[in-house]
Structure 1
Amino acid sequence: MRILTPVFAFALLLLAACSPGGQNTSAADQAKVVRIASIGYYADGKLNVGGNQTAAVYTRKVLEERLAKRGVTVEWVPISQSLGGPGFNEALASKKVDFAAYGDFPAIIARAGGIPIKLVVPAGRGSNSYLVVPAGSKAQSIEDLKGKSIALQRGRPGELAFNQLISSKGLTRADFKIFNIAADAAASSLAAGQIDAAFIGPAAYLLEDKGVGRVIWSSKGTNWKWRSELFVREDFSRDNPGLTQEVVEGYISAAYWSSQDANREEAQTLISRNGTPLSVVQRDSENDIEWKAKWSPLFDGYMEEHYRDAVAFTSSEKLIPQAFDVKDFFEPKYVEQALKNQKLEGYWTARQGSK
C-alpha cells in the first residue's frame, strides 16, 4: 500500500491501495498506474473508498488481482463527501485521476463544461431519496408542505427527484421555502425544529430511529432516482483501451457477485463500511427494485431516459451552458465486451424508459 500526498486543498487525504493486478494487455496501452477516484471514508484506522458500485471492487481487491500480471498498479483516490462533485471534476480536469465513480449531476456538469469524460459502467437502477418531516408534524404528503420550509441541497443529484415529485403534483419550487442545505446539516436542522421538512438520502432512516423524524415519501417504486457510476477520461481510454477494458471487467465481475442473493448481506455489509448503519443500507433496499436488477450495468432505455431528464433539468436550471446528446456521453463497448467475456449476456434484463 502506498500513501499519496493530498490532491486538493480541501480533500481528505489520498490513499493509494496499490496491489499489482492483471491480464493480457493491448500494445497501445501506456499507463503503468490506474487512478480511480471515489468517495472517501475512514474505517479500521485508515482512509478507504466506497460507494455502492465501488464497495465490492475496492474491498475485495478485484482490480488489484486483475492487473497484477500486467505490472500495473491501482491507486484509489478518496474524495471527501463535503467536497463532492467539484473535487471529482477538478481531479478529472487536471488528469490526476483516470476514472471517477461519482454522481450524475457533477458528471453532466463536467461534460458540458468541456471536461472530456464518458460513462463506462452504469450502476444499476439508481438510489433513493426521502422526504422526511419532524416526528410530530401532521404533514402526510408533499402537498401538505406547501408554503413550508424544506431543506434541499441544490445542484446535487437528489434535486432532480424533488423536481419530478413536485411537478407530478402540479407544484413548483415557488410553492415552498427552499433552503439550500447539505444533507448532514439538513438532518440537524430538522431534529432542532428549524425546518418543516428535508429532502435527503437514506439517512432519513436514522432520523426515524432517533425518534426525531418521519418519512412521508420516498422514491421507491418510481423512476425518480439519482445515479452514481463509473466515468473515464476519454484520452485515457483512447490511449489505454486494454486497461480500460480490464477496469470495466473488474466492475462487471463485482456487480455480478453483488447481485447474487447468496452474497446480498455481505455486499450490504461492504457498503455499510462507509459509516452508514447496516440496518439503513438494508431498509433502503427493501420494497423497491429487485436485488439482481439493482446491479445492472446495462446501457438501456431506462438509463438513457434518466440522463436525458437530468441533462434537460441541469440546462433549465443554468447549471450547464447548454444541453447535449446523452448518447455521446456513453461508451457501452467495454461493458458489452465484458458481458461476453464473462458469459453474462442475458443475465440482466434491459429495461425501457417510462416515456
Structure 2
Amino acid sequence: MAALYLKLFGVVMLKKSIKLLLSGLTVMAFASSLAVAEDLPKTVRISVVAYNIAGKTTFMGQEVLLEQGGLGDALAKKGIKIEWVPAATAQTGPIINEGFANGSIDFASYGDLPPIILNSAQSISQLVVPWGRSSNTYLVVPANSTAKTIQDLKGKRIALHRGRPWEIAFANLAESQGLTLKDFKIVNVNPQVGAASLASGSVDAFVSLTDAYNLEDKKVGKIIWSTKNSPADWKLFGGLWGSNEFVQKYPEITQIIANSYVRASYWISQDKNREQYIKEYASQVQPESVIRRDYDNDSVSWKDRWSPLYDQALTEHYRRSVAYARESGLIQNDIDLGKLLNPRFVNQAIKDLKIDNYWINTTFQAKN
C-alpha cells in the first residue's frame, strides 16, 4: 500500500513539475519576444531629395516605394514607422553625408561621388540597393553659343558643382578628349546657381541633370552632350545607402527595406508600367515632357535602367570614381570597394521575390 502511495505521489509531483516547467518556458518565450520587440528600432530614418511644390514637401521616389514597393506596410508589420528626412537639391550630398556622420539618419537615397567622399576617412555607410542607371548627365551652353563640343569650351567658364555625381561623367568626357578639369575655368556652384549663371551669361557652360531640358524650354540654353549614348558606366549610379551601424545591428530590417526597393524597381522596369510610372510618379517633380526626353533614345533599355544588380558596369563605375576622387584631391585615401558595395541584400531580395532570371549581369563596355 505504501509503495502504491509513493508511486501516485511521484506521478502527481511529476505533473506539477511539468506544469511549472511549461509555465516557465511560456514566461521565458514571452519575455524573449518582448526583448526582440524592444531591440527593434521604433523608426527608420530615410533621407531623400525633397522639393517644395506648391507649399508641400515632395520626397523623390517616396510614393512609388510606398505604393508599389510596399515599404510602409512591410515595416508596419514590425511596428516600425518611417521618418522621411528631406535633403535639399542644392546641397544633397553634404546634407546626407553629415546625417550619416552624426548618426541622425539610417538610410539615404543619393548619388555615387558623395558617398565615396563620406567613406574616405573611415567606413561609415554601404550601398544596400543600387537604383540602376537611372540618371543622365548633360552639358549645356547658352542658346546663342557657337560651342558644339567640349573642345570648344577649353579655357571657358563651366558651372560644375564639385563633389556631386555628375562631376564623374564630365571628367570622363574631358578625359576621352584628352582634357582634364584644369583645361577649364570651373565655377563651383550648386545646380540652382549654375542654371541662373548660364541664363545670365555669367558662365559659358553648365553641367547638370534633367534641369538641362528646362533651360532649353526657356530658350536660354541648349544641350550639346549627354551620357545617353556614352558607355554605361558613365551614367549616375546611385542607390539606397545604409549606415553600417544600422545594417550590422538590424540585418532583418535592412532586408525588409531592400526587398521593398527591389520590388519597386521590378515594377517600374516592366514596360507595361512605364506610362503609369511617368504620369503618376516621375512627373511629380519635373514636367512630364522633361521626364520623357530624359528617358527617350537612351542606349540603356528601360528594363536595365532600373537594374539593382551589382554588375560589371556598376563595379567599374565605382572603381573609376574612387580613382578619380583620389586623383582630383576630393579624397586622400583609397577605399576598399568590398566594404563600399554589399550585394548581400539585393541577392536575397531577388530570391525572396522569385525574380532570379529577370535581370542579368550585364557586361557593358567599361571605360579603362
TM range (shorter): 0.7 to 0.9
CA distance in 1 between counterparts of 2:42 and 2:155 reads: 56
2:252 is matched with 242
Structure number with greater Rg is 2
CA distance in 1 between counterparts of 2:361 and 2:271 reads: 20
Pick from 45, 70, 77: which aligns with 1:35? 45
2:296 pairs with 1:286: yes
| AA partner of residue 42 (structure 1) | N
1:213 is matched with 221
2:363 is matched with 352
Q: CA RMSD in A?
A: 1.9
Cα displacement (A) at 1:34? 1.3
After superposition, the C-alpha distances for 1:196-249 in whole angstroms (9 at most, x for unaligned) are: 211111111111111111111111121311222101111211211111110001
2:320 is matched with 309
2:190 is matched with 182
Q: Which piece of structure 1 moves more, 240-249 or 146-155?
A: 146-155
1:333 is matched with 344
2:351 pairs with 1:343: no
Pick from 97, 101, 106: which aligns with 1:93? 101
CA distance in 2 between counterparts of 1:277 and 1:347 reads: 30
Cα displacement (A) at 1:73? 1.2
2:73 is matched with 65
2:303 pairs with 1:295: no
Cα displacement (A) at 1:323? 1.4
CA distance in 2 between counterparts of 1:144 and 1:64 reads: 50
Given that residues 55 and 271 in structure 1 are in contact (C-alpha distance below 8 angstroms), is that contact kept between their aligned partners in structure 2?
Answer: no
After superposition, the C-alpha distances for 1:61-116 in whole angstroms (9 at most, x for unaligned) are: 72111122221111111111223112111211222111111111111111113252
The 3-state SS of whatever aligns with 1:348 is coil
| AA partner of residue 229 (structure 2) | G
The 3-state SS of whatever aligns with 1:70 is coil
Higher helix proportion, which one?
Answer: 2
2:146 is matched with 138
CA distance in 2 between counterparts of 1:46 and 1:218 reads: 31
Cα displacement (A) at 1:339? 0.4
Given that residues 132 and 238 in structure 2 are in contact (C-alpha distance below 8 angstroms), is that contact kept between their aligned partners in structure 1?
Answer: no
Cα displacement (A) at 1:39? 0.9
The 3-state SS of whatever aligns with 2:345 is helix
Cα displacement (A) at 1:169? 0.7
After superposition, the C-alpha distances for 1:7-64 in whole angstroms (9 at most, x for unaligned) are: xxxxxxxxxxxxxxxxxxx95962122111111123464323115xx55114657211
After superposition, the C-alpha distances for 1:274-317 in whole angstroms (9 at most, x for unaligned) are: 2x111111111111121111110001111000000111111112
**Could you say if the C-alpha distance between residues 27 and 332 of structure 1 is closer, same or farther in structure 2, counting changes exceeding 3 Å?**
farther
Q: Which runs of 5+ in 2 are unaligned?
A: 1-34
Cα displacement (A) at 1:266? 2.3
Given that residues 30 and 239 in structure 1 are in contact (C-alpha distance below 8 angstroms), is that contact kept between their aligned partners in structure 2?
Answer: no
After superposition, the C-alpha distances for 1:172-211 in whole angstroms (9 at most, x for unaligned) are: 2232222112222122111112222111111111111111
| AA partner of residue 41 (structure 1) | Y
TM normalised by structure 2 equals: 0.84
2:274 pairs with 1:261: no
CA distance in 2 between counterparts of 1:59 and 1:182 reads: 32
Q: What is the number of equivalent residue pairs in this alignment? A: 327
2:234 pairs with 1:200: no
The 3-state SS of whatever aligns with 1:231 is strand
Pick from 213, 237, 245: which aligns with 1:227? 237
Q: Which runs of 5+ in 1 are unaligned?
A: 1-25
The 3-state SS of whatever aligns with 2:172 is helix
